[in-house]
């Protein structure tokens, strides 16, 4: 098991209370979201072995499957994350920056999404998300997640 997968599998499952603040730089507006989500390990033979199902309670009962595809090298600190929802698949690149920081990147149509998630301990995660369009900053988000069960 590579170090990124080990960090994910030891710290991602559970019932989480999330608080998200998004600041839109050009419009100078702030959007605040609070929601609860439950993340469980999920086995589906058509997907890789390291899949999780994320159920959002406050966002119109959406279910999202996250399928982690590890590199074959057990010492690798990177991998691919497939986000599967509503017949859509988005592919993100993941890398472990240090022992508790995961960097997540996604690029489509000139929009670059970069997330830095810091796993403080098994009950607390903090994320900073930067969104750019054609190398211009358009939004920044600060997220905190507290495990409640």
* pLDDT value, residue 51: 56
Which of these, 68, 70, 19, lies nearest to 43 by C-alpha position?
A: 68
Q: What is the CA radius of gyration of the chain?
A: 15
Give me 141's structure tokens.
Answer: 């988000």
pTM: 0.83
CB 53 within 8 A of CB 40: yes
Confidence label for 86 from pLDDT (cuts 50, 70 and 90): confident
* pLDDT value, residue 50: 57
What's the Cα-to-Cα distance from 138 to each of 55, 64, 70, 111, 116, rounded to whole Å? 28, 25, 31, 9, 17
* pLDDT value, residue 21: 98
* pLDDT value, residue 60: 58
Q: What domains, with CATH codes, occur in the chain? A: 3-147 (2.40.128.20)
Furthest C-alpha separation in the chain: 46
């Amino acid at each position: 098991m590579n170090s990124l997968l080990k960090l994910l599998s030891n710290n991602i499952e559970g019932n989480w209370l999330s608080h998200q603040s998004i600041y839109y730089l050009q419009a100078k507006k702030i959007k605040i979201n609070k929601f609860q989500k439950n993340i469980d390990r999920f086995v589906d033979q058509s997907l890789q072995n390291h899949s999780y199902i994320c159920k959002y309670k406050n966002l119109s009962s959406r279910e999202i499957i996250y399928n982690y595809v590890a590199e074959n090298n057990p010492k690798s600190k990177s991998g691919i994350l497939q986000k599967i929802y509503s017949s859509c698949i988005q592919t993100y690149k993941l890398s472990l920056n240090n022992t508790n920081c995961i960097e997540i990147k996604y690029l489509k149509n000139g929009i670059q999404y970069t997330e830095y998630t810091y796993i403080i301990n098994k009950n607390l995660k903090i994320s900073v998300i930067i969104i750019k369009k054609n190398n211009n900053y358009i939004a920044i988000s600060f997220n905190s997640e507290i495990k409640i069960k």
